[in-house]
Chains A and B, each alone.
Chain A
Amino acid sequence: MMTYLLRVLACLFICAAIPAPAHAQDQAAPVQQVLQAHGEVIIKSSRRTIGPTIDALGASGLPEAQTVLQRWQDKEMWFERETGLFVFAQEQDDGQLMLFDVSDGAEIGLADKKAYKQLKPNSGIRGLIAAALVQFQLNAPALEERLVAVNSIERDADPSHLEALRGAIENEPDAALKARKLRLERLLTIRFAQDDAERITAIESFSGDLGVDLRAALNPLVATRIDAGAEVPEGARVIEAGSEQLSREDAHAILVEKGLARPQISRDALRAALIENIEGDAVAGIRVATLDTDDARTGAYAALVEAGLADPLVSDADITEALQAVQFYEVFTGAPVSVAQAAQIALDDIETRVALSQTADLALDGLSLASIYFLAAIGLAITFGVMGVINMAHGEFIMMGAYTGYVVQLFVPDYTLSILLAIPLAFAVTFGAGVAMERLVIRWLYHRPLETLLATFGVSIALQQLAKNIFGTQARPLTAPGWLDGSWVINDIISISYIRIAIFVLALLFLGLFLFVMKRTRLGLEVRAVTQNPRMAASMGINPDKINMLTFGFGSGIAGIAGVAIGLYAKVTSEMGSDYIVQSFMTVVVGGVGNIWGTLLGATMVGFLQKGIEWMNPSNTLAAQTYMILFIILFIQFRPRGIIALKGRAAEA
């Protein structure tokens, strides 16, 4: 055994000691032939002459061509000074080269560095090589590699990619990727094709498309520049100076830039000129102390001009004269006129469609905001709308529900399960809190609404601070389950996140639940009886105290569930309740107290209104809220009882 091992070791030693190449270089390999055919050009390496060589390599159809190009780009290709043969080589630490064959990458062996010379392609050549390589990547057998290539072209396209892409479409086996390649080819045609007709056809082929990539391809084509000159070139549009498109100041600035007019002397320049010419306590004979108005300064400057110490001011008449001497026109700078016009038409069309889609998107946004308001307000619709109890701590019940969800997630790591658990738990917690509050506070204050308002405010203040003490002031996350991540994308503009859809569905569910409980259950019947006439209800054997307690608990419980939903979409903080309380009351009041359909309408109106105002003034959601509240205040002036007003006896109750 030992001897055997020794023998193996000896063999290894001998093998390593002999430097003879284990593999001779294959001079007849086809790729070496191609390289040799362009040998001189490759060795000279100039960007201007290398093109055909790279094309020849690319067109050779040899599978090794890609490797050659890649390693050439990575500066790993060398050539033997004597024979001009090309090899791949890696520098070793001891100054020797490890050689590899260009045809199959097989190891040739170590060689002296002096006999070889490295090819060092400059950045221009490397760019050409990279473009050629794209073709190989686009045709690579592995799907991922092709995807990477397409992605990289989409990100950063180059005119050279167009041909490569065209060559890589037909043989694409993957249907989805083929579609992408086709689309990309048309986009590249728009941007880079030489033939105008071809570009226009490509532009027209996109009719009806709203893609951001398309707009990105079209926008540079319609770039314009305003220029001035004695003659208007063909295809340019004449613009009047002093019109809406081109103010006199801008027109003058263009002339100044072209050296056709003198610049206006600014207030600062005038001041600087005066300061420069102060002599003693005067400028051009005018006392400095009097120069504290613009008129006085202009006068002093005029004196300076007269004395030849400053450039004269450019008067209005000068500007007019300069403007009239030339004609202003607008030229397309991005593309030939015909292409630019086609692009302009396509863009206008896109703009119309985008506007339509944006309206639809806005409507979706409004709908989702409306469902959030509805969720926040539906509990109030029960406690305030049906019972007439004004509960300012309602927002804090929402907060309690959200914090319940957060606490559940601390114990149950599975998000789907934790949300499913959190919903009944939040209902239970806030139901309990509602019942406790009804028994302890509200019961003693029926028919004294202002005092109910104040007492519940006290509870609200205390609960808010309590949450702050327990959970701290920083926002806590309530994470939605994975299947609620992402959004439903209809096109590039219309999209809505799944959480918002879930909230919308939840709002509908609650509406159904409310209607079911109020109209179809014994509890609902008794609630309606008690709110209409508690004494009559009591004499029918209904216990009004119990019903009031349960109803209040039910409303509070729904607020708790709403809290979980709102917590999923916004952060959970101790102040989240107070963010919604005013809007919730507005929703109920605007809709009409005592009617769930009114609340629904109110929420829809408030939601759409807020989104609409935000759209008009997108930078400023604060302003949107301000104007919305003002609008609601005005609205209540005209319909003090809300959109759906109760009539008859119920209204007096």
Chain B
Amino acid sequence: MADTALPAPRRPFVARYPSVLIFIGLLAVFTVAVTVLAEGFGIGVVSTSFVKTLGKTLCLCLVALAMDLVWGYCGILSLGHMAFFGIGGYAIGMWLMYARTEIIVTESLAAAPLPPTAQEISDGIATQIFGVVGASEFPPIWTFAHSLPLQLLAVVLVPGLIALVFGWLAFRSRVTGVYLSILTQAMTLALALYLFQNDSGLRGNNGLSGLQNLPGMDDVPQATISIVFFWASALALGLGYIVCAWVVSGKFGSVIRAIRDDEARVRFLGYSVEAYKLFIFTFSAVLAAIAGALYYPQAGIINPAEIAPIASIYLAVWVAIGGRGRLYGAVIGAAFVSLLSTWFTGGQAPDVNLGFYTVQWVDWWTILLGLSFVCVTLFAPRGMGGLIDVIIERRSPDRHGADLGPEPGALQEKEADR
């Protein structure tokens, strides 16, 4: 046993995962570059609306990260993560709408001969907000809408709880694979249908609007606000990336990858598969909700259509095209596809004249996306991230260290670490 080496000292996290450092570096450069080019603080080459688009894209990257964690690493194809994204948006939207309406109502009541009572202010706000759905009272769901900290807490807690309960029920009864996918899709559909009702308490299909106007910041130009949100989104994405990378590293990461590859075997090895899955599912739901809470103030409006099952499917499409099972793949996929989508559906892409028919991309982009998605699934399961593999694997592998198996040529330590 003399040759049994002491366990090698663990190298720092960043050294083991250089991609994290590269990603953070690129993100920082990108953020600074956009800031310099934007109208708010820089030279104004990039318009405010484009800064918002970029900020929103960063949020989409974050939710794609969450999706990759749950699908690419843990093998749970959730078709419901955009529901958590939407809940996060609703939670922050409630406060934004309440606070802004409160300012307006207080101002209008200040002119009244008697100072308004708390009840009068509350009634005024409720009439303003719920007039469109024919109600004038706050539903119980708005109990905490007056308080930013409580609503921020709701951004994390509500999706977390839903994911926890749903996941616990689903994993406990061993619903896996496509069944789980359909079940999550059904959950999303149920939530969307519920929110579509006028008496859901969240303004039915009108949704929440005017979220881009931050309460009490009417003097601050949107150009500045957009940069602030852009930075916040970049920060969230950077932090989210680091946390995700940390979660999937080490033994924990190995276990969840093993669950993806062969769940039964992991269970037989004595791991509590359900607990691992539940943690990943809930954690990614919270991450998605945080992304949503940052996304919707930039989008300005949220309505139940954003939660419809198709949104979650697009999320899966992004991650698949970017390359699942690697964090940067999800980010690349979300950024690439969503920006391309904006470009095509925005009518900026030039029409293609085939002589007998003119292809208008507004109409044909979805078809192209659907078909390319089929092609990616069929021919390039590693997605765009696979391209990076092609580049990296051209280097000669770093084969040093002790053999890990009895056979000559078995996996060696350095390789195994990768």
**Inter-subunit contact B377/A461 (CB<8 Å):** no
Q: Mark B361-374, 1 if CB is under 8 A from A, else 0.
A: 00110110111111
A278 CB contacts on chain B under 8 angstroms: 113
Across the two chains, which residue of chain A brings its CB closest to B360? A469
Q: How many inter-chain contacts with C-beta < 8 Å in the A-B complex?
A: 149
A450 and B77 CA atoms in complex are apart in Å by 7
**Inter-subunit contact B186/A629 (CB<8 Å):** yes
Across the two chains, which residue of chain B brings its CB closest to A629? B190
Which A residues lie at the B interface, using CB under 8 A? 271, 274-275, 278, 288-294, 297, 390, 441, 444-445, 449-451, 453-455, 457-466, 468-469, 578, 582, 585-586, 589, 620, 622-623, 625-626, 629-630, 632-634, 636-638, 640
Q: Mark B153-178, 1 if CB is under 8 A from A, else 0.
A: 00000000000001001101111011
A288 and B114 CA atoms in complex are apart in Å by 6
Given A458-B370, A622-B193, A640-B179, 9 more pairs with CB closer than 8 A: A278-B113, A292-B114, A451-B377, A454-B316, A457-B370, A458-B372, A461-B370, A586-B182, A625-B193
**Inter-subunit contact A292/B178 (CB<8 Å):** no
**Inter-subunit contact B182/A585 (CB<8 Å):** yes
**Inter-subunit contact B190/A625 (CB<8 Å):** yes
A622 CB contacts on chain B under 8 angstroms: 193-194, 196-197
Across the two chains, which residue of chain A brings its CB closest to B169? A637
**Inter-subunit contact A455/B197 (CB<8 Å):** no
**Inter-subunit contact A271/B114 (CB<8 Å):** yes
**Inter-subunit contact B173/A638 (CB<8 Å):** yes
Contact A629 to B378, CB < 8 A, known contacts A292-B117, A294-B119: no
B65 interface residue (CB < 8 Å to A): no
A441 and B310 CA atoms in complex are apart in Å by 21
B1 interface residue (CB < 8 Å to A): no
B136 interface residue (CB < 8 Å to A): no
A sample of 9 inter-chain contacts (CB < 8 A) reads A292-B116, A454-B77, A454-B317, A459-B370, A461-B313, A463-B370, A623-B194, A625-B190, A637-B172
**Inter-subunit contact A453/B370 (CB<8 Å):** no
Across the two chains, which residue of chain A brings its CB closest to B115? A292
The minimal Cβ–Cβ distance linking B109 to chain A, given in whole angstroms, is 10
**Inter-subunit contact A636/B181 (CB<8 Å):** no
**Inter-subunit contact B373/A458 (CB<8 Å):** yes
**Inter-subunit contact B373/A455 (CB<8 Å):** yes
B318-371 residues at the A interface, CB under 8 angstroms:
320, 363-364, 366-367, 369-371
Across the two chains, which residue of chain A brings its CB closest to B168? A637
B24 interface residue (CB < 8 Å to A): no
Highest count of chain B CB atoms <10 Å: which of A453, A466, A585, A589: A453
Q: Residue A445 contacts which of B187, B309, B378 (CB distance < 8 angstroms)? A: B378
Q: Residue A633 contacts which of B183, B316, B364, B370 (CB distance < 8 angstroms)? A: B183
**Inter-subunit contact B114/A461 (CB<8 Å):** no
Interface size class of B (residues with CB under 8 A): 35 or more
Contact A441 to B378, CB < 8 A, known contacts A390-B178, A454-B320, A622-B193: yes
Q: Residue A441 contacts which of B115, B166, B372, B374 (CB distance < 8 angstroms)? A: B374
* Interface SS of chain B: helix
A629 CB contacts on chain B under 8 angstroms: 186-187, 189-190, 193
Q: Residue A291 contacts which of B114, B196, B373 (CB distance < 8 angstroms)? A: B114
A464 CB contacts on chain B under 8 angstroms: 366
A578 and B179 CA atoms in complex are apart in Å by 18
B381 interface residue (CB < 8 Å to A): yes
A275 and B114 CA atoms in complex are apart in Å by 7
**Inter-subunit contact A455/B117 (CB<8 Å):** no
Across the two chains, which residue of chain B brings its CB closest to A293? B117
B372 CB contacts on chain A under 8 angstroms: 458
A455 and B199 CA atoms in complex are apart in Å by 37
A468 CB contacts on chain B under 8 angstroms: 363
A288 CB contacts on chain B under 8 angstroms: 113-115
B366 CB contacts on chain A under 8 angstroms: 461-462, 464-465
B114 CB contacts on chain A under 8 angstroms: 271, 274-275, 288, 291-292, 297
**Inter-subunit contact B177/A449 (CB<8 Å):** yes
**Inter-subunit contact B117/A297 (CB<8 Å):** yes
Q: Mark B261-298, 1 if CB is under 8 A from A, else 0.
A: 00000000000000000000000000000000000000
B115 CB contacts on chain A under 8 angstroms: 288-292
**Inter-subunit contact B378/A589 (CB<8 Å):** no
A603 and B373 CA atoms in complex are apart in Å by 32
**Inter-subunit contact B113/A626 (CB<8 Å):** no
**Inter-subunit contact B381/A451 (CB<8 Å):** yes
A465 and B381 CA atoms in complex are apart in Å by 24
**Inter-subunit contact B370/A460 (CB<8 Å):** yes
B222 interface residue (CB < 8 Å to A): no
A578 and B311 CA atoms in complex are apart in Å by 13
A589 and B166 CA atoms in complex are apart in Å by 18
**Inter-subunit contact A453/B181 (CB<8 Å):** yes
The minimal Cβ–Cβ distance linking A640 to chain B, given in whole angstroms, is 5
Q: Residue B182 contacts which of A461, A465, A469, A589 (CB distance < 8 angstroms)? A: A589
Across the two chains, which residue of chain B brings its CB closest to A457? B313
**Inter-subunit contact A626/B117 (CB<8 Å):** no
**Inter-subunit contact A465/B370 (CB<8 Å):** yes
**Inter-subunit contact A640/B175 (CB<8 Å):** yes
A537 and B6 CA atoms in complex are apart in Å by 55
Q: Mark B87-129, 1 if CB is under 8 A from A, else 0.
A: 0000000000000000000000000011111110000000000
B118 CB contacts on chain A under 8 angstroms: 292-293
The minimal Cβ–Cβ distance linking B377 to chain A, given in whole angstroms, is 4
**Inter-subunit contact B189/A640 (CB<8 Å):** no
A297 CB contacts on chain B under 8 angstroms: 114, 117
Across the two chains, which residue of chain A brings its CB closest to B204? A622
B191 CB contacts on chain A under 8 angstroms: 626
The minimal Cβ–Cβ distance linking A445 to chain B, given in whole angstroms, is 7
The minimal Cβ–Cβ distance linking A637 to chain B, given in whole angstroms, is 5
A449 and B113 CA atoms in complex are apart in Å by 69
The minimal Cβ–Cβ distance linking A304 to chain B, given in whole angstroms, is 13
B185 interface residue (CB < 8 Å to A): yes
A469 and B364 CA atoms in complex are apart in Å by 8
A289 and B116 CA atoms in complex are apart in Å by 9
Contact A623 to B197, CB < 8 A, known contacts A469-B364, A586-B186: yes
Give the 9 A-B CB pairs with smallest separation, nearest first: A462-B370, A458-B373, A461-B370, A465-B366, A629-B190, A458-B374, A292-B115, A455-B377, A626-B194
The minimal Cβ–Cβ distance linking A11 to chain B, given in whole angstroms, is 80
A454 and B185 CA atoms in complex are apart in Å by 13
B172 CB contacts on chain A under 8 angstroms: 637
A586 CB contacts on chain B under 8 angstroms: 182, 186
The minimal Cβ–Cβ distance linking B332 to chain A, given in whole angstroms, is 18
**Inter-subunit contact B178/A582 (CB<8 Å):** no
**Inter-subunit contact A637/B173 (CB<8 Å):** yes
Across the two chains, which residue of chain A brings its CB closest to B77? A450
A454 CB contacts on chain B under 8 angstroms: 77, 316-317, 320, 373, 377
A294 and B122 CA atoms in complex are apart in Å by 13
A633 CB contacts on chain B under 8 angstroms: 166, 169, 183, 186-187, 190
**Inter-subunit contact B378/A444 (CB<8 Å):** yes
**Inter-subunit contact A465/B119 (CB<8 Å):** no
A620 and B115 CA atoms in complex are apart in Å by 41
The minimal Cβ–Cβ distance linking A310 to chain B, given in whole angstroms, is 15
Highest count of chain B CB atoms <10 Å: which of A271, A274, A461, A586: A461
A136 and B409 CA atoms in complex are apart in Å by 113
Across the two chains, which residue of chain B brings its CB closest to A639? B173
B120-145 residues at the A interface, CB under 8 angstroms:
none
A636 and B115 CA atoms in complex are apart in Å by 56
The minimal Cβ–Cβ distance linking A75 to chain B, given in whole angstroms, is 50
Across the two chains, which residue of chain B brings its CB closest to A620? B197
The minimal Cβ–Cβ distance linking A634 to chain B, given in whole angstroms, is 8
Contact A626 to B377, CB < 8 A, known contacts A274-B114, A292-B115, A458-B370: no
Contact A640 to B370, CB < 8 A, known contacts A289-B115, A586-B186: no
A290 CB contacts on chain B under 8 angstroms: 115
A632 and B187 CA atoms in complex are apart in Å by 10
Across the two chains, which residue of chain A brings its CB closest to B375? A458
A133 and B174 CA atoms in complex are apart in Å by 79
A620 and B178 CA atoms in complex are apart in Å by 30
A390 and B373 CA atoms in complex are apart in Å by 17
